[in-house]
Amino acid sequence: MKLRTCWLFASLALLTVGLFLFDLTVGSVGISVRDVGAALMGGDCDPTTARIVLDIRLLKALVALLAGAALAVSGLQMQTLFRNPLAGPYVLGVSSGASLGVALFLLGLPLLGASGQVAFSALGMAGAAWVGAAAILLLIAALSNRIKDIMVILILGMMFSSGVGAVVQILQYLSDETALKSFVIWTMGSLGDVTAEQLALLAPAVGLGLVLAVATTKPLNLLLLGENYARTMGLSVRHARLWIFFSTVLLAGTVTAFCGPIGFVGLAVPHVARNVFVTADHRVLLPASALTGSVAMLVCDIVSKTLTLPVNTVTALLGIPIVVWVVVRNKSMA
Amino acid sequence: MIELVDLSVGYRRRKLLDGVTATLAAGELTALIGRNGTGKSTLLRTVCGLERPLDGAVRLDGCDLAAMTPARLARTVAFVATERVRVANLRCEDVVALGRAPYTNWFGRMQDEDRHMVARALEAVGMGAFARRPMNRISDGECQRVMIARALAQDTPVIVLDEPTSFLDLPGRRELVSLLRRLAHEERKCILFSTHELDLVLSFADRAMLIDPPQLCTLSADELAHSERLERLFGIPTA
């Protein structure tokens, strides 16, 4: 590996650790770095402070770390697979699938007369979102086995998203106010609603997704040249696609299930990683995107906590200028 | 090296080539010519295993292509497509290194031998000085040379190129085809390329395969110059 790449990785890792600790100090109550350290190390500090740090903020920061890495890696995979700089984790309909799951759960069940108690349990909501995302992806994966042209799959993904969006709107239209409100809040995204039990599900799912992503680095590198070249270099494109889809549903699907749809991180971060590391090699880009994604998500979390805004609005407002900058820069360079 | 045995290619409703037979040897540069839509690309894609034949077989190096594993196929035939690859931040040597994919491990780790092959392939096409240039900042001719270097790095006895001279200016086309001729003769490769440039075929290719739908006839360059088929197919005098 080149010296520059090593330096960049080292500084990114340091930045991640720094932001992670800083994230623990930020919130409705200011807590000093020393107290955070004491709480983490089990040292001498106020028990209330320790509880805030360990039970609330640590959980949230861990979720931010995982969600950022997962969305960025998933976005990278989709951009390479579809050879499209505007692809992201949600291009296959993962987020609309998840929305449909949640909508059916929050809005559909009460319509069918099921008890409200079941409908609002958080774990059930995440489960419904995950099932929805996985269902859409299975459908696309099944179709992609029959369809050769990746652009057709991209169009199918977009059409599915729109169709599912319409169904979700129908459900919204028919629903009562409370159910509608909890659905809208879910669509705004939140890192803080994840409980320790949910994290115990989210972390291994994202971990498995990342392992799969690492296993698909060579296929992704070959796909840079397009599917014809990849196939003549010995890649089974169908298998590679399925593994990449599976990895993406684990990464983006799981994060979306637990945190709601979080926009722009998956779209913007891979571009930042490419421009900072000046490479197209996924062996470098994958860890680079994961780390940059974590950094971006921690920054967004810190901003959203400071200004008390939904995290989705922060990722969009910070992400859009980056995407615009990347597009303009690449155009003027070509 | 390449044997077409009773091969039919095309689509379900439209057969482009019907039961054609041909043999191409190692160390020879063969040009595939024919009018638009007569199945040049489809034949080339079939030889690379990208399309399945409707009937008959392609034999590479004595083995039936249909029975080869993808890994084995990737060590037997390399392909250069018409489409231009312009990936930002991807350097020429990275592209050529991808050609080593059939020989590297699951992570694509390069050994000394792989690096040596990459450097040699770039030198062979005269692009040694461009190794660290990104692919999106070189000319079309340079880009095509890099893609040929990638095929060389794949270290296969057969190389197939689909219209490698399109997008190039006249001197560029001549240089490219003479490069292909040199590689075929010096590296003992069996090289098959499709083209519309009849003059280049006449001056550089060892043989020509002419598509006379739905038949295919193989001629030496001399025979081609005196064949009345060219005149009939393209409506031009060849003398």
pLDDT tens for the 334 residues of chain A, in order: 688 999 999 999 999 999 999 999 998 888 888 888 888 887 778 888 888 888 889 999 999 999 999 999 999 999 999 888 888 888 888 888 888 988 888 887 777 666 555 545 666 777 888 888 888 878 887 887 788 788 888 888 888 888 988 998 898 888 888 888 888 888 888 887 788 888 988 999 999 999 999 999 999 999 999 999 999 999 999 899 989 988 998 999 999 988 888 988 999 999 999 989 999 999 999 999 999 999 999 999 999 999 988 888 899 899 889 888 877 876 654 4
**Beta-strand relationship, B207-212 and B215-220:** antiparallel
CA angle B161, B163, B168 (to 5 degrees): 120
Contact state of A280 with B94 under an 8 Å Cβ cutoff: yes
Are B90 and A224 inside 8 Å of each other by CB? yes
Neighbours of B37 (CB within 10 A): 11
Q: Residues of B with CB below 8 A from A275's CB?
A: 89
Parallel, antiparallel or unpaired: strands B158-161 and B77-80? parallel
Interface of A with B in 140-179 (CB under 8 A): none
Token digits of residue B17: 């080539």
- pLDDT single digits (tens) B93-107: 999 999 999 999 999
Query: What is the ipTM for the molecules in this complex?
Result: 0.92
Query: Which residues does A300 contact at the CB level (< 8 Å), separation at least 6?
Result: A64, A265, A311, A314, A315, A318
A328 touches B at CB < 8 Å: no
In the three-class reduction of DSSP (H, G, I as helix; E, B as strand; rest coil), residue B159 is classed as strand
Q: Which helix (H) or strand (E) holds B80?
A: strand B77-80
Taking the CA of residue A332 and the nearest CA in chain B, the distance in Å comes to: 12
Is B110 within 8 Å of chain A by CB? no
Task: Report the C-alpha gap between B204 and B60 in whole angstroms.
Answer: 24
B34 touches chain A (CB under 8 A): no
A325-to-A264, A328, A329, B57 alpha-carbon distances in Å: 14, 5, 6, 52
| Chain A positions in Cβ-Cβ contact with residue B102 (cut-off 8 Å) | 233-234
CB-closest option in B73, B101, B136 to A334:
B136
Give me the DSSP letters along A217-282: HHHHHHHTT-HHHHHHTT--HHHHHHHHHHHHIIIIIHHHHHH----SHHHHHHHHHHHHHT---H
What are the tens digits of pLDDT across the range B171-222? 989 999 999 999 999 999 999 999 999 889 989 999 999 998 889 989 888 8
What is A89-190+232-262's CATH superfamily?
Answer: ABC transporter involved in vitamin B12 uptake, BtuC (1.10.3470.10)
Q: Point out the residue among A234, A279, A333 whose CB comes nearest to the CB of B101.
A: A234
Contact A228 B81 (CB under 8 A): yes
CB–CB of B85 and A330 under 8 A?
no
How far is Cα A21 from Cα A63, in angstroms, rounded to an integer? 14
Q: Say which of A234, A283, A330 has its CB closest to residue B73.
A: A234
Q: Does A233 touch chain B (CB under 8 A)?
A: yes
CB-based contact B49 A222, cutoff 8 Å: no
Cβ neighbours of residue A331 closer than 8 Å, sequence gap 6 or more: none
Q: Where are the domains of chain A?
A: 89-190+232-262
Residue B70, chain A, CB below 8 Å: the answer is yes
CATH 3.30.750.24: does it fit domain B1-70+190-239? no
pTM of the model: 0.91
Position B14: which residue type?
R
Is the bond leading into B214 cis (omega within 30 degrees of zero)?
A: yes
